[in-house]
Each structure stands twice: as structure tokens, then as C-alpha cells.
Amino acid sequence: MEFELIDHEYIQLNQLLKLLGLVDTGGEANQRIVDGEVKVNNEIEYQKRKKLRKGDIVLFERKQITIT
């Protein structure tokens, strides 16, 4: 799965999860991140507002999202 940045330099990790419909609410996104359920570039990411830029790869629930 790819997510293309259009007119933006980055997207925050919690916003990405919600925007793609991988979680129902922003609160759920934040909790799942804090619980260590999300990897960015193959490392567990705990920052809810981690800025994702082109080339970053997010792993969540056996789904891989590439930021393009």
C-alpha cells in the first residue's frame, strides 16, 4: 500500500493511521502507537506525531505503507 504526499512535506503517524482507515479514531491511533504496535523503517515507533516523509515505510497489523 502506498500513501502519496500531495502538497505537504510530511504527515504525522497518528494522522496516517486514521486517514487510511486502519483505526477508527485518533485516540485509538495514539494508543496503538504508544503500545508499540507500529513500526517505522523497521523500528518500533512510540512518537504519536512522528513526521513521516517520502521513503518512510510504516508497518501496522501486517500491512506495509510506503510514503511516496
Task: Convert the pLDDT of each residue in 55-67 to its tens digit.
Answer: 999 999 999 999 9
Count the helix, strand and coil residues of the chain and give each as a percent rounded to the nearest 5. 25, 30, 45
Report pTM.
0.92
CATH classification of 2-67 is 3.10.290.10, yes or no? Answer: yes
CA distance linking residue 64 with residue 9, whole number of Å: 20
Confidence of residue 7 (pLDDT cuts 50, 70, 90): confident
Task: Convert the pLDDT of each residue in 45-56 to its tens digit.
Answer: 999 999 999 999
Q: Would you list the domain boundaries of the chain? A: 2-67
